Amino acid sequence: MSLIGSVQVDLSVHLGSAQMPVHQLLRMGRGAVIELDATDGEIFTLYANDRAIALGEVVVEGERIRLKVTEMLRKPA
């Protein structure tokens, strides 16, 4: 295996938020759906190991949500 093949990177993206009482959250089971306030065309930030690396937009196509990267962010000097 090559060196680059053994590097682990945690990717995360913040798509939106929701508010609900704790008791409602505790009653949720596997497969529960939490509706977020994100909409089609909304801007998101992509993080790699907790560092912002790119900006993009949310694209909704039917029941699918796609994340389209539109700008790579420069590494801080």
pTM of the model: 0.67
What is the rounded end-to-end Cα distance, in angstroms, of the chain?
Answer: 32
Domain boundaries 8-72, CATH class: mainly beta
Query: Domain ranges in the chain?
Result: 8-72
> What angle (nearest 5°) sits at the alpha carbon of residue 58, between those of residues 52 and 62?
155
pLDDT at 1 over 60: no
Contacts of 77 (CB under 8 A, 6+ apart): none
The predicted-structure confidence for 14-49, as pLDDT tens digits, reads as follows: 888 899 999 999 999 999 988 888 778 888 999 999
Which own/partner pairs from 61-68 qualify as long-range (CB within 8 Å, at least 24 positions apart)?
A: 65/15, 67/13
